[in-house]
Structure 1
Amino acid sequence: MEENGDEKLIAAVLQIAKSLGGTEDMTDDILQVFSAFDGRFSLDKLSSDRPKGGEAAAEAPAGVREVHDTWPQLDRTIRTLDRGISRFIASDRLIWSDAADAAAFLECVDDLLATIHDLDPPVSPADKPLLDRAEDLLRRCMLRLEEEFRAILERPPASPVAGVSSPHSEESDSDSAEGGEDRFPVALPVDDYNLVIDALPPDSVADLHAIARRMVAAGFGHECVEVYGASRRGFVDESIARLGLLPRSADEVQTSPWSYLEDEIPRWVKAAKMAFLILVPSERRLCDRVFASLSPFADLAFGASCRPTADGLLCFADAIAASPRDPVRLFRLVDMYETLRDLLPDLDYLLSERYSAALRAEVAAAQKGLGAAIRGIFVELENLIRHDPAKATIQGGGLHPITRYVMNYIRAACASRRTLEEVMEEEAVDPHHPSSSSPLSVQLAWIMDVLQSNLEAKSKIYSEAPLSYIFLMNNGRYITQKAQDSELGALLGEDWIRRQMAMVRRWGNNYQRATWTKVVAVLRVDGVGGAAATSSSAWKAMPERLRVFNTYVEDIWKAQCRWVVTDEQLRTELRLAVGAIVIPAYRNFVARLRLVGDAGKQAERYLKHSVEDVQAKINELFGGGRR
């Protein structure tokens, strides 16, 4: 019943158009008006039910006659569409400034697409000119749709969107005043990355989808993607630029001084997080809505809008990874590596489609490149230690700068233990010969061995053997202290620390033997005391031994009070150890000297230093000249 009623209504419209239209063109114009007024009067329906040639409308049953010759019908349809579409195309104002105009224009486009579908492929050679006319009209439609699409993309929202700066904000107003142009919304710098930006209002998204659907249907999907990408890319680029990070080529990065790059990398970290945690998900969501059910154009549009900015960020990371492996760069490289590593899980879903999956692979490749650079820095650190000159010695046998630098450097690096273990495991030893130690532990133990070898080579430069042992003790004790109670000690292991402490004790024993063994030997007088105490020969030997002892003590004191033991506890331990072997021997010698019969009465004049004096001189050793 309803269909029969529509047919009667259409027949009535056709009759009215025929009666009022004096010519064929006037009739077509009247039908165009009806078509724009009511969706039931589409040009397809009116054209298919319209009487043709010289036949009167009344001759058709129920006002509708089936036409077997379609060429005149299609010709009139195209001419009607041309007039209606040209009116919109020639307009100076945006079609989408009026919802009714936009709906009417899209209906014309739909009718034109349907007409082209009927003509393609042409049934006969006579249909070819009609198809050419229709396709030319379609190209004109698409050009105008591109303009409308671009205008909607760049249309400012009625109110600022969450997470987005409106062009009407104070900063944007100043920008417009300077540049003389309105600017599209740009994401503001943020600290919270758990948000999504709705850069376009829902009505704009609906309009964009309506246009995109027609352009894809007309075979202009790639042109639509290009317009979309160019506009949205500007949004993404400016959002990143607001963080202070400007695009730089690989050559510019690699030729920039490290002091500049060191300040640039924190901005890169923020930009990468904003790009991949906020902008990429937001743009993916927007593309999926604008190009809904238009695969693969949603993925292509997403790549067109985000890929250039992402490529710029990854180019910076690749250039940093390819730069010299200077150890000073380690900590910034770790920051970059951790940033990309932490981003990858979120990108597994966002970058899973055909065209965007390559970007995910590039992020992973950039992360691996930074990992290789980090491993290279540890190799360079080994070389730096190994080639540190052994010619120069430290006055007083104190702590060498290379020891201080390496231990503080490694200790600071171990604050990123989890990351460094992950990096080292990427290029671990042969899996068929697993080690009980982690690759990072092995690497650090090797660096400690290289450092120890370098220090031992430096110790041989000292002309005095005792001083070389003091030097080794100072540096060995410092190494042990820096390793203890830290991630470095946990990586090196308790056995390593025990071996290091035992080595320091051995150097201490070597120092005592090299310095004080001869001093104690002078105080050993065989046969003095007891029954032999009155021996005149024993008495004659003791003053000479006492003189030698005094000389030894004074010479050692003069030299070694200028030597340095940097660690206070080690200095105290060393003084106590020296006193433990010297003072008892000296006290016993003095006691025996005083017991040698009558000659003992003359002993006091040979005692230049009391036991307390000798103890005081020992307590002044290793102070670096301080008293």
Structure 2
Amino acid sequence: MEENGEEKLIAAVRHIAKTLGRTETMAEDILQVFSAFDGRFSLDKLSSDRPLPRRRSPADSPAAGTAVAGGGGTTAGGREADDPRPPLERTIRTLDRQISRFVASDRLIWSDAADAAAFLEAVDDLLATMRDLESPSGTGDKSLFDRTDDLLQRCMLRLEEEFRAILDRPDGFAAAGGISTPPSEDSDSDGADEGEDHVPVAAPVNDYNLVIDALPPGSIADLHAIARRMVDAGFGRECAEAYGVSRRGFVDESIARLGLRPRAADEVQATPWADLEDEIARWVKAAKMAFLILVPSERRLCDRVFASLPPFADLAFAAACRPAAAGLLCFADAIAAGPREPERLFRLVDMYEALHDLLPELDHLLSEQYSATLRAEVAAAHRALGAAIRGIFIELENLIRRDPAKAAVPVGGLHPITRYVMNYLRAACAFRRTLEEVMEEDATGVTIPPDPHHPSSSSLSLQVAWIMDVLQSNLEAKSKVYPEPPLSFIFLMNNGRYMTQKARDSELGALLGEDWIRRQMAMVRRWGNDYQRTTWTKVVAVLRMDGIGGAAASSSAAAGKAMRERLRMFNTYVEDIWKVQVGWLVVDEQLRTELRLAIGALVLPVYRNFVARLRQAGEVGRQIDRHLKYSVEDVETRINELFEGGRRW
């Protein structure tokens, strides 16, 4: 009778749980209450063959048991006093039954807040039980320890699975506390997005002063709860690596949206430079996006998920961010290792400046054990770009030296190498601050002390001055190719004047200094004097009256003949010079005017004096006057027609 009464009582309890328990978890909670109220209602008796609520399939709903006091030998609901086994064994058996239901479930535990809380409590009890087993007062029973360890392994695998699910589908749980129930089978949703691997992606931005909150607070709290249990169980590295694998997709896809994809170094170096220039522009934006927004945001998220769990926050952060960052830095290294062609300078400077601006921001962000390696890699890429920039200036010197001397300009004008180098240096000096910093460092990033012979000169100014010397030497070698010495000096004047003009009133001139500009202007004047000496000195010499006076005293006929001969020679010289040098070119209009005025000042007064003396010579003068081919004005006109580069009047 008593046995039938107990069976009826148990049946009544199960009926109450079934009727009031709208979900499996609620039914379990009701049974736990009865179990705690009366020791006769053990969970084994209440659970035996009882039907479960059918709102979900059995596979979808793990029965969440209540917390089990670790090492106490009793369940929270009932004292299984009639169980003859030791307390720890009874506790482990109960935990095994409760946890197994969760671990075997096909439904995500964190889709229900009560299930999640119950599972975490069971894990806490399991960890407490393991500590009891490992304590000096523990039983020392290896079979119990192995059984508990196996159960812990299963818990950790399931926690890692849940951890990944929350990370990969942060918006999939919308209930209070960051947890919600997924749509049921009879939901109106068409399921179009089910099964898709949706990765949230950061949109491109222009303002880098912001932080991305990629996960809602509820999800972060759930992740922290899981991470804390995994770390306590000795699975912190596995948890951090799982975090990194899941978050890596977000970072990778965010950078990919900026138009970059990971590429091997040899593929980058085989790409035409015109295509790489566009990619570098995208790279600069991506680097800022990555290191000013994504990386700080991921650091902030890791610090919240793994709060008070060092060093796993840094390990998870490095696992999430380093692959994408390494791809960006690999591209920078490939560019830095490419040819040292001068036209690459400006894009390399863009990349160098981008990393230079980022490094101070990363000093604190990437200062811990695992992320410090990434900081070192950024610094290494920065140094590699600096070395490439220094190498480009060396290559520019070699380019000038290799330009053949036979490539002189036919009419003595401006040589292409002069135009290229001066415009190149002028453009490069727009980045003077950056280039000075690059030149002051060696390949290890250490600042080079100033030259003791030039303490006031920067490494950049010395480098540029040296390039100018190399260019000047190359131009002087080219000038010797001309068979006519006067044309050599015209060539040097043209190129020297151009170098001076490009340097004056610009950052290049400030870098070279006033002394260099004064020396350059003095050289141009010297070449002008050399031109006049080799061209017009002989013209002036034939107009001198030396010796004609003595001839006139002995014979007027002899004096007339001498003057006619000199006039004929003068006419010939002027005609020959005009025919040739009207095709020579003085590029700068002001220099052309200055040179014509200097020639006129040398020739015209002497010729005017010669003509005047002819007219004063009486009969001899009247005879010679008939041979006067050019007036002073005609000679002046011929001089003013010179250096037009082939133009004929």
| TM-score computed with the length of structure 2 as normaliser | 0.84
Code of the residue aligned with 1:155 in structure 2: it is: R
In the alignment, what sits opposite 2:615?
A: 594
The CA deviation at 1:570 is 0.4
The CA deviation at 1:233 is 0.6
Per-residue CA shift, 1:526-581, capped at 9, x if unaligned? 26689969944322211111111000000000000000001111011111111111
1:517 has 2:537 as partner: yes
Q: Which moved further from structure 2: 445-454 or 600-609?
A: 600-609
Code of the residue aligned with 1:133 in structure 2: it is: R
In the alignment, what sits opposite 2:373?
A: 358
CA distance in 2, matches of 1:612, 1:298: 92
The CA deviation at 1:398 is 0.5
> Does the C-alpha gap of structure 1 residues 144 and 48 become closer, same or farther in structure 2, counting only changes over 3 Å?
closer
In the alignment, what sits opposite 1:448?
A: 468
Per-residue CA shift, 1:118-137, capped at 9, x if unaligned? 11258677622112112111
> Does the C-alpha gap of structure 1 residues 241 and 48 become closer, same or farther in structure 2, counting only changes over 3 Å?
closer
Code of the residue aligned with 2:466 in structure 1: it is: W
In the alignment, what sits opposite 1:5?
A: none
CA distance in 1, matches of 2:314, 2:394: 42
1:461 has 2:481 as partner: yes
1:47 has 2:74 as partner: yes
Are 1:424 and 1:439, in contact at CA under 8 Å, matched by a contact in 2? yes
Are 2:363 and 2:375, in contact at CA under 8 Å, matched by a contact in 1? yes
> Does the C-alpha gap of structure 1 residues 22 and 142 become closer, same or farther in structure 2, counting only changes over 3 Å?
closer
Which residue of the other structure, out of 307, 321, 340, is the alignment partner of 2:336? 321
The CA deviation at 1:154 is 1.5
CA distance in 2, matches of 1:130, 1:91: 25
In the alignment, what sits opposite 2:106?
A: 92
Structural mapping, 1:525-540, within 5 Å:
525-526=545-546, 535-540=556-561
Give the secondary structure class of the aligned counterpart of 2:39.
helix
The CA deviation at 1:191 is 1.2
Are 1:529 and 1:595, in contact at CA under 8 Å, matched by a contact in 2? no
Per-residue CA shift, 1:570-612, capped at 9, x if unaligned? 0111111111111111111111111111232223321111111
Are 1:156 and 1:184, in contact at CA under 8 Å, matched by a contact in 2? no
The CA deviation at 1:255 is 2.6
CA distance in 2, matches of 1:245, 1:17: 67
Give the secondary structure class of the aligned counterpart of 1:426.
coil
In the alignment, what sits opposite 1:164?
A: none
> Does the C-alpha gap of structure 1 residues 501 and 273 become closer, same or farther in structure 2, counting only changes over 3 Å?
same
The CA deviation at 1:514 is 0.4
CA distance in 2, matches of 1:498, 1:72: 102
Which residue of the other structure, out of 603, 612, 619, is the alignment partner of 2:640? 619
1:402 has 2:417 as partner: yes
1:106 has 2:107 as partner: no
Which residue of the other structure, out of 227, 231, 237, is the alignment partner of 1:222? 237
Which residue of the other structure, out of 194, 197, 205, is the alignment partner of 2:212? 197
Which residue of the other structure, out of 495, 508, 515, is the alignment partner of 1:488? 508
Aligned length: 582
In the alignment, what sits opposite 2:307?
A: 292
Q: Which has the higher helix share?
A: 1
In the alignment, what sits opposite 1:470?
A: 490
In the alignment, what sits opposite 2:452?
A: 433
Give the secondary structure class of the aligned counterpart of 2:626.
helix
CA distance in 1, matches of 2:71, 2:329: 53
The CA deviation at 1:323 is 1.4
Which residue of the other structure, out of 82, 86, 89, is the alignment partner of 1:72? 86
> Does the C-alpha gap of structure 1 residues 432 and 179 become closer, same or farther in structure 2, counting only changes over 3 Å?
farther
Structural mapping, 1:20-419, within 5 Å:
20-21=41-42, 47=74, 54=82, 72-120=86-134, 127-157=141-171, 181-419=196-434
CA distance in 1, matches of 2:209, 2:42: 64
Per-residue CA shift, 1:28-61, capped at 9, x if unaligned? x9xxxxx96987x857668179656559xxxxxx
In the alignment, what sits opposite 1:577?
A: 598
> Does the C-alpha gap of structure 1 residues 411 and 179 become closer, same or farther in structure 2, counting only changes over 3 Å?
farther
Q: What are the ranges of 5 or more consecutive residues in structure 2 without an aligned counterpart?
A: 1-31, 51-62, 175-190
Which residue of the other structure, out of 538, 549, 566, is the alignment partner of 2:570? 549
CA distance in 1, matches of 2:253, 2:307: 26
The CA deviation at 1:260 is 2.3
Code of the residue aligned with 1:609 in structure 2: it is: Y
CA distance in 2, matches of 1:619, 1:180: 87
Q: What are the ranges of 5 or more consecutive residues in structure 1 without an aligned counterpart?
A: 1-10, 30-34, 56-68, 161-175
CA distance in 2, matches of 1:75, 1:393: 99
Are 1:52 and 1:73, in contact at CA under 8 Å, matched by a contact in 2? no
Are 2:265 and 2:331, in contact at CA under 8 Å, matched by a contact in 1? yes
Per-residue CA shift, 1:438-497, capped at 9, x if unaligned? 111111111000000000000000000000000000000000000001111011100000
Are 2:475 and 2:492, in contact at CA under 8 Å, matched by a contact in 1? yes
Residue identity over aligned pairs, in percent, reads 73
CA distance in 2, matches of 1:524, 1:177: 106
> Does the C-alpha gap of structure 1 residues 270 and 429 become closer, same or farther in structure 2, counting only changes over 3 Å?
closer
Are 1:299 and 1:356, in contact at CA under 8 Å, matched by a contact in 2? yes
1:566 has 2:580 as partner: no
Code of the residue aligned with 2:112 in structure 1: it is: D
Are 1:528 and 1:592, in contact at CA under 8 Å, matched by a contact in 2? no
CA distance in 2, matches of 1:178, 1:536: 118
Are 1:529 and 1:592, in contact at CA under 8 Å, matched by a contact in 2? no
CA distance in 1, matches of 2:33, 2:625: 148
Per-residue CA shift, 1:378-436, capped at 9, x if unaligned? 11111111111001221110100100010011111110000110011113766583622
> Does the C-alpha gap of structure 1 residues 23 and 551 become closer, same or farther in structure 2, counting only changes over 3 Å?
closer
CA distance in 2, matches of 1:251, 1:527: 81
The CA deviation at 1:13 is 6.4
CA distance in 2, matches of 1:339, 1:126: 61
The CA deviation at 1:19 is 2.1
Per-residue CA shift, 1:358-383, capped at 9, x if unaligned? 21112111111111111111111111
The CA deviation at 1:230 is 0.7
CA distance in 1, matches of 2:293, 2:258: 14
Which residue of the other structure, out of 525, 529, 545, is the alignment partner of 1:505? 525
> Does the C-alpha gap of structure 1 residues 15 and 418 become closer, same or farther in structure 2, counting only changes over 3 Å?
closer
| TM-score computed with the length of structure 1 as normaliser | 0.87
The CA deviation at 1:274 is 0.7
The CA deviation at 1:105 is 0.9
Per-residue CA shift, 1:256-298, capped at 9, x if unaligned? 2222222211111111111111111000000000000000000
RMSD across aligned C-alpha pairs, in angstroms? 2.9
Are 1:229 and 1:301, in contact at CA under 8 Å, matched by a contact in 2? yes
CA distance in 2, matches of 1:54, 1:386: 101
Per-residue CA shift, 1:67-119, capped at 9, x if unaligned? xx9x6212221221122212222222211111111111111111111111111
In the alignment, what sits opposite 1:19?
A: 40
Per-residue CA shift, 1:294-325, capped at 9, x if unaligned? 00000000000001111111111112111121
Are 1:469 and 1:510, in contact at CA under 8 Å, matched by a contact in 2? yes
